[in-house]
Amino acid sequence: MILILTLFSLITSLSSSYGYDPLDPHANITITWDFILKTDSSYDITVSIHNFQLFRHIEKPGWKLGWTWKEDEVIWNMWGAEATEQGNCSKFIGGGGKLPHCCEKNPTIVDLMPGAPYNMQVSNCCKGGVLTSMVQDYSKSLSAFRMVIGSFSNNITNINMPFNFSLGLPGYSCGDPFHVPPTKFSHDGGRRFTQALETWNVTCSYSQFRSSPAPKCCVSLSSFYNDTIVPCPQCSCNCQGLPGTKCVKPGETPSLLELPPTHVTQEVPPLVMCSHHMCPIRVHWHVKQSYRQYWRVKITITNLNFVKNYSQWNLVVQHPNLQSLTQVFSFSYHDLHQYGNINDTGMFWGIQYYNDMLLVSGSSGNVQSEILLRKDPGHFTFREGWAFPRRISFNADECVMPLPDDYPRLPNSRGHSSTLTPPLIFFLSLFSFAFL
Ligand SMILES: *[C@@H]1O[C@H](CO)[C@@H](O)[C@H](O)[C@H]1NC(C)=O
Ligand SMILES: *[C@@H]1O[C@H](CO)[C@@H](O)[C@H](O)[C@H]1NC(C)=O
Ligand SMILES: *[C@@H]1O[C@H](CO)[C@@H](O)[C@H](O)[C@H]1NC(C)=O
Ligand SMILES: *[C@@H]1O[C@H](CO)[C@@H](O)[C@H](O)[C@H]1NC(C)=O
Ligand SMILES: *[C@@H]1O[C@H](CO)[C@@H](O)[C@H](O)[C@H]1NC(C)=O
Ligand SMILES: *[C@@H]1O[C@H](CO)[C@@H](O)[C@H](O)[C@H]1NC(C)=O
Ligand SMILES: *[C@@H]1O[C@H](CO)[C@@H](O)[C@H](O)[C@H]1NC(C)=O
Ligand SMILES: *[C@@H]1O[C@H](CO)[C@@H](O)[C@H](O)[C@H]1NC(C)=O
């Protein structure tokens, strides 16, 4: 058994250190760079950033796109986004009386905020750098901006593709640009198409290992057939009392001094409620009721972080009975079946204006829903922890689960080893499948 457990933890740690998520094997963010128009002294570029990730979104403070110019290019003008620094444009003093928007060799570009002046907008811009995941809202998974590029010699002969792209987001890294067939733009309701002079794609991918290997959420379990509430494992995210860890005692609200200053361009580190698990997010799975043909689960997500409202949150759940999910009461749901017929994984997220915002703890720091599942004959059982999820992630970060040995048991079931085996076999087969 110890051997299997070791193997299991080895495999899970391996799988999370890879950039690769078996539930979303093609996940990437693609930057498309279209050269549109060239004159003697400048050229126009449109850049779009597409979030091709099923369940990972880009939250505030949003993307910060960076690259390195090949020669002495400068950005004369920009719509839909802006450079964070103008840089040293002193070479241009005395020119036409106007300085470029940005003269940096390594510019950093940020999206404009919603409500930016109309004459500075382009289509798909101005979302404050936030990109929705593909499943939640495909229409908001794209950002775009336009710019006019010149150079000091004011004589552009080549159009150079820059290099060294970055998204300014923890965990992401970008590859080299590659030349792709030119983008076509539709006009006149699709009756005429124009095309870019040249198009390049840059693919960026995420790795939890590069981001931060520390978990950000944990799972607790309970059931109607056993009084035990199985809590999140000890030290799931951090250990209380370690030097340098701060937390807020339950029932207290942090004073303004304790709260880290809010920042427009940087993510604020979490300040969590003191607990034995120290996670900013806890997901509780309660097996609530059993009917003749159906059974009911209540899912509660609690925000224990005092410095963040989680907007557009999502939960990815793996459970073999999700293939017979009959009703979801107050979340949205979409199944994720990456391997043909195996639809044991699905994504839950909030309903707009109702519970799509998971507010800071205190007054209303949780969202909940119930789901109804059909008991598939031959599969369904309350024995051996089958009714509990195999895997849960919150905002695409995998949550720490209690050990299968601790799961609430049916009062009459005996024997430890039998409670362990089925979820483990399931995990092992899943991961070996993923590694083939
Ligand atoms: C990026 O994701 C899109 C959409 O899933 C996919 O078509 C494309 O092949 C991916 N790109 C790479 C380089 O994997
Ligand atoms: C700005 O660039 C010019 C040359 O282009 C250089 O002479 C000057 O020292 C630079 N200024 C600063 C503050 O770096
Ligand atoms: C621009 O560069 C080309 C080739 O390098 C040269 O033939 C042309 O005279 C230059 N034009 C100006 C205005 O400097
Ligand atoms: C690549 O970009 C980083 C900033 O994102 C910069 O520090 C580094 O110097 C760049 N590399 C090259 C070769 O210019
Ligand atoms: C380049 O990126 C666009 C998305 O912005 C995608 O539609 C296209 O398929 C990509 N091209 C290649 C060759 O991957
Ligand atoms: C969270 O949202 C509430 C209500 O919209 C707001 O009052 C509060 O300031 C927000 N807190 C943070 C940390 O953003
Ligand atoms: C799962 O797949 C089965 C067969 O492939 C299908 O009948 C069922 O409706 C699917 N369930 C969900 C929730 O998509
Ligand atoms: C409830 O589950 C716990 C944990 O598996 C177990 O120790 C306990 O004996 C169970 N209670 C009953 C009444 O069977």
Question: Hey, what are 293's tokens?
Answer: 């043909």
Q: Do residues 188 and 313 share a domain?
A: no
**pLDDT given for residue 153 in this prediction:** 72
- State the Cα torsion 331-130-128-300 to the nearest 10°: 30
Which amino acid is it at 138? Y
Residues near 244 by beta carbon (within 8 Å), at least 6 away in sequence: none
Residues written for the chain: 436
| Range name among 28-37, 206-215, 309-318, 391-400 with the lowest pLDDT average | 206-215
Task: Tell whether 14 is covered by a domain.
Answer: no
What are the backbone angles phi and psi of residue 43, rounded to the nearest 5°?
Answer: -145, 160
Answer whether 417's CB lies under 8 Å from 231's CB. Answer: no
Pocket of ligand 3 (CB under 6 A): 155, 157
Q: Do residues 299 and 161 share a domain?
A: no
Task: Tell whether 2 is covered by a domain.
Answer: no
Task: Output the CA 52–ligand 1 centroid distance in Å.
Answer: 7
CA distance 218 to 266: 25
What are the backbone angles phi and psi of residue 373, rounded to the nearest 5°?
Answer: -125, 145
Task: Tell whether 237 is covered by a domain.
Answer: yes
Ligand nearest to the CA of residue 39, numbered in listed order: 3
- Identify the CA nearest to 141 among candidates 127, 159, 160: 127
State the pLDDT confidence band at 69, using cuts at 50, 70 and 90. very high
**pLDDT given for residue 75 in this prediction:** 95
Residues near 203 by beta carbon (within 8 Å), at least 6 away in sequence: 28, 29, 30, 31, 174, 175
Task: Output the CA 15–ligand 6 centroid distance in Å.
Answer: 35
Which amino acid is it at 312? Q
- Identify the CA nearest to 58 among candidates 141, 120, 161, 126: 141
Instruction: Kindly report the protein residue whose alpha carbon is nearest to atom 10 of ligand 5.
Output: 201
CA distance 102 to 149: 10
Question: Hey, what are 108's tokens?
Answer: 């950093």
Instruction: Kindly report the protein residue whose alpha carbon is nearest to atom 6 of ligand 2.
Output: 90
| pLDDT tens per residue across span 11-24 | 444 444 445 677 88
Q: Do residues 119 and 176 share a domain?
A: yes
- Ligand 6: which of 359, 361, 364 to mutate, most ligand atoms within 8 Å of CB? 359
Q: Do residues 124 and 251 share a domain?
A: no
- Identify the CA nearest to 248 among candidates 358, 368, 365: 365
Task: Tell whether 424 is covered by a domain.
Answer: no
Task: Tell whether 4 is covered by a domain.
Answer: no
What CATH number is associated with residue 98?
Answer: 2.60.40.290
| pLDDT tens per residue across span 363-387 | 458 999 999 999 998 889 998 899 9
Q: Do residues 203 and 224 share a domain?
A: no
Angle formed at CA 402 by CA 386 and CA 374, multiple of 5 degrees: 25
| pLDDT tens per residue across span 305-341 | 988 899 999 999 999 999 999 999 999 999 987 676 7
Task: Tell whether 436 is covered by a domain.
Answer: no
State the pLDDT confidence band at 256, using cuts at 50, 70 and 90. low
Which amino acid is it at 413? S
Q: Which residues pair with 294 in a beta bridge?
A: 374
What is the DSSP secondary structure assignment for residue 21, as one 8-state letter? -
Q: Do residues 227 and 240 share a domain?
A: yes
Q: What is the pTM of this model?
A: 0.84
**pLDDT given for residue 41 in this prediction:** 81
| pLDDT tens per residue across span 357-366 | 999 866 458 9
Q: Do residues 167 and 231 share a domain?
A: no
Domain extent, residue 62, equals 23-209
Q: Do residues 240 and 201 share a domain?
A: no
Q: Do residues 276 and 352 share a domain?
A: yes
Sign (positive or negative) of CA dihedral 122, 128, 131, 136: negative
**pLDDT given for residue 244 in this prediction:** 80
Domain count, the chain: 2
Task: Tell whether 315 is covered by a domain.
Answer: yes
Task: Output the CA 112–ligand 7 centroid distance in Å.
Answer: 42
Looking at the chain, the number of H-run helices and the number of E-run strands are 3, 28
Task: Tell whether 224 is covered by a domain.
Answer: yes
When the pLDDT of each residue in the chain is averaged and rounded to a whole number, the result is 85
Q: Do residues 57 and 168 share a domain?
A: yes
Q: Do residues 37 and 55 share a domain?
A: yes
Residue 232 pLDDT > 70, yes or no?
yes
CA distance 375 to 389: 15
**pLDDT given for residue 133 in this prediction:** 95
Q: Do residues 201 and 242 share a domain?
A: no
For ligand 6, say whether the CB of 307 is within 6 Å of any of its atoms: yes
